[in-house]
Structure 1
Amino acid sequence: MGDVDYEAWRNILLSMPGAYEDFPFGADAAVFKVAGRHREKAKMFGLLMHRGEVLSLNLKCDPALAEQLRAANPQITPGYHMNKKHWNTVTSGLPLELMRDLIEDSYDLVVASLPRLDREALGWKGIVGRG
């Protein structure tokens, strides 16, 4: 898995505070989770995998925004093996800055659902507070 998008996306995913990589489904699917105080209560915010020859990244998304993104970008489809209302699957071809925004949004949605003490442990300022 040495392609440029894979490494770039992986680096962004791992740059999020409290993020780490796990392989509960085997070596072909990297699951990116965020944990506050307790790693055993971590939640997934990204799933990076190759499906055949296609690199894809599942990311959580606000349902209304998910519909808009899918309509505007052929690289964004309903989440593969995920809740299609809340998750998108993204494939190569989008600008890296947009990918960073999509990853940050997924991270924020997941962290927002963590208990307050976990959010505080991560130093999370909230979706609106991010610059």
Structure 2
Amino acid sequence: MNFEQLDTYIRAKQGVTFDYPFDEKVRVYRIAEKMFALTSEDRPISVNLKCDPLYALELRSLYKGIIAGYHMNKKHWNTVTVEDSDVDDETVKELIDHSYDLVYEKLTKKQKALLG
């Protein structure tokens, strides 16, 4: 998966916005102002994703391309290398969905209603 494919998949999710709060390279994807993914075009392409803590540990034990979240809370975030990695594209998409769903579940009724 390259950066464009990753970016397109993430931005296709309902209510997703992105900005560059840290610098001009790190793109942060949000739903209702809450982060669920971070990436940049630096090589190899990787993405930080929110993850259930037990699932995060399991994933790290199964894939070399998944490590504790770089510059993030290591309990709740993973860094997933998506380019030249043992993590296939379908798994990357599932992990993006998982991250999105974790954040969506925590939104208030009002925030969810605004998203549609």
Q: Structure 1 CA distance, aligned partners of 2:114 and 2:21?
A: 25
Which residue is 2:18 aligned to? 21
Contact 2:39 2:46 (C-alpha < 8 Å) held by counterparts: yes
Aligned length, in residue pairs = 113
- Determine what percentage of the aligned residue pairs are the same residue: 41
Q: Structure 2 CA distance, aligned partners of 1:120 and 1:102?
A: 24
Deviation at 1:58, TM superposition (A): 0.3
Q: Structure 2 CA distance, aligned partners of 1:80 and 1:25?
A: 14
Q: Structure 2 CA distance, aligned partners of 1:54 and 1:95?
A: 14
1:83 aligns with 2:73: yes
Deviation at 1:50, TM superposition (A): 4.7
Deviating beyond 3 angstroms after TM superposition, the runs of 4 or more aligned structure 1 residues are: none
Structure 1 unaligned segments of length 5 or more: list them.
36-41, 124-131
Which residue is 1:47 aligned to? 38
Opposite residue 106 of structure 2, the aligned amino acid is S
TM-score normalised over the length of structure 1: 0.80
The one-character-per-residue Cα deviations of 1:51-83 (angstroms, maximum 9, x if unpaired) are: 5x3322000000010011100000000000000
Which residue is 2:91 aligned to? 98
Match of 1:31 among 28, 31, 45: 28
Structure 2 unaligned segments of length 5 or more: list them.
none
Which residue is 1:107 aligned to? 100
Q: Structure 2 CA distance, aligned partners of 1:54 and 1:96?
A: 14
Q: Structure 1 CA distance, aligned partners of 2:97 and 2:36?
A: 9
